[in-house]
Amino acid sequence: MALPASTTPIHGTHAATNRGGSPASLEARGLGKTFNGFVAVSGVNLQFSGNGVFGIIGPNGAGKTTLFGLLSGFIKPTTGTMLCNGEEISRLEPEAVARLGLIRSFQITSIFGHLSVAENLVMPMQRRDSSGNQFWRVSHALDTWRDEIDETMRRVGIAPVWRDQPAADLPYGLKRSLELGVSLAARPRILLLDEPTAGMSAQDIGRIIDLIRDVAAERMVIMVEHNLRVVSDLAREIVVLQQGKVLTVGAYADVRQNPQVIEAYLGGHREHGHA
């Protein structure tokens, strides 16, 4: 499908404000990425603004992972530009992008297994509130941010008994919860989630859905997710990719009826809720 020349706006329910008082926004202008001659993403024009959950879906090889990397600053574009809250981020390092309030959570858990749950959570709190020269003062940091650590654990559903246990000992579902907690501890204005329910049990998926819905009331959340039931429950608007291009954008109820989407993505998996 040929891309429209104009940018496709995608709006949330409320205005998540940035430091300047304007709604949080993330914009792709003519975004493209080529790897050794292979075009993974081509001419993507999108503008996300406000609070709420926005989904990115598409069949295998559609370019979701590459687009996600471009949106978060972990992949540099071959063509086009990315703007976060009005600032050009296309050539910034991920650390600089994070300082603008855009935080990415990975599909594969990125927590430090040898550290305790509390130590994993306190690191982004230190980074957020200091120049970084106090990382070695772990015991002091754990005392300083004790209340926030405990509140973050409560919010993501990790019981206090796990507080001082190695993160590696957590069950898989709680490891994913901890990863979300680490992301939230950085106080993002825009949170990017890469398949947040991958590998989870049905019980864990329900808990994570509730958590994402809760955090999205206060910020923009953009997620790549294969489980279409999760997408239908959470996402107000969805971007559908095909062969590195935007096939369509819209509410789930409309997207799932789109003949091009059914042909390109849903196909025979429609009743199973998975790609």
Is 106 part of a structural domain of the chain? no
Instruction: Copy the structure tokens of residue 122.
Output: 């306190």
> Are 29 and 95 found together in one domain?
yes
> What is the rounded distance in angstroms from the CA atom of residue 78 to the CA atom of residue 39?
10
> Are 176 and 215 found together in one domain?
no
66 has pLDDT over 90: yes
First to last CA, the chain: 20
Q: In the β-sheet with 237-242, what is the strand arrangement from edge to edge?
A: 102-105, 190-194, 220-224, 52-57, 237-242, 245-250
> Are 182 and 138 found together in one domain?
yes
> Are 77 and 44 found together in one domain?
yes
For 109-156, write each residue's pLDDT tens digit. Answer: 578 999 999 999 998 888 877 654 555 567 778 888 899 999 999 999
Listed range (12-21, 81-90, 118-127) with the worst mean pLDDT: 12-21
> Are 31 and 70 found together in one domain?
yes
> Are 12 and 87 found together in one domain?
yes
19 has pLDDT over 90: no
> What is the rounded distance in angstroms from the CA atom of residue 244 to the CA atom of residue 247?
9
275 has pLDDT over 60: no
Is 107 part of a structural domain of the chain? no
Is 16 part of a structural domain of the chain? yes
> Are 193 and 64 found together in one domain?
yes
267 has pLDDT over 60: no
Domain end among 160, 187, 214 = 187
Domain at 8, CATH number: 3.40.50.300
131 vs 240, more confident: 240
Is 132 part of a structural domain of the chain? yes
Q: Over the chain, what is the mean pLDDT?
A: 84
> Are 147 and 52 found together in one domain?
no
- Select from 231, 219, 265 the least CA-distant residue to 246: 265
Split into its structural domains, the chain has a count of: 2
pTM of the shown model: 0.84
User: What confidence score (pLDDT) does residue 137 get?
Assistant: 65
> Are 259 and 205 found together in one domain?
yes
Domain residue limits at 117: 112-187
CA atoms within 13 A on the CB side of 76: 3
User: What confidence score (pLDDT) does residue 140 get?
Assistant: 78
Asked if 44 and 246 count as a contact pair (C-beta separation under 8 A), the reply is yes
> Are 84 and 215 found together in one domain?
yes
Domain end among 187, 222, 247 = 187
Is 64 part of a structural domain of the chain? yes
94 has pLDDT over 90: no
- Beta-bridged to residue 46, according to DSSP, are 8, 28
269 vs 82, more confident: 82
> Are 217 and 118 found together in one domain?
no
Domain end among 154, 187, 220 = 187
Across the range 168-184, mean pLDDT stands at 91
> Are 97 and 3 found together in one domain?
yes
User: What confidence score (pLDDT) does residue 18 get?
Assistant: 44
> What is the rounded distance in angstroms from the CA atom of residue 226 to the CA atom of residue 161?
32
Is 173 part of a structural domain of the chain? yes
Cα–Cα separations (whole angstroms), residue 64 to 157, 213, 267: 29, 22, 18
Question: What 3-state DSSP class applies to 65?
Answer: helix
Is 88 part of a structural domain of the chain? yes
227 has pLDDT over 90: no
11 has pLDDT over 50: yes
With pLDDT > 70 as the criterion, what percentage of the chain qualifies?
83
Is 204 part of a structural domain of the chain? yes
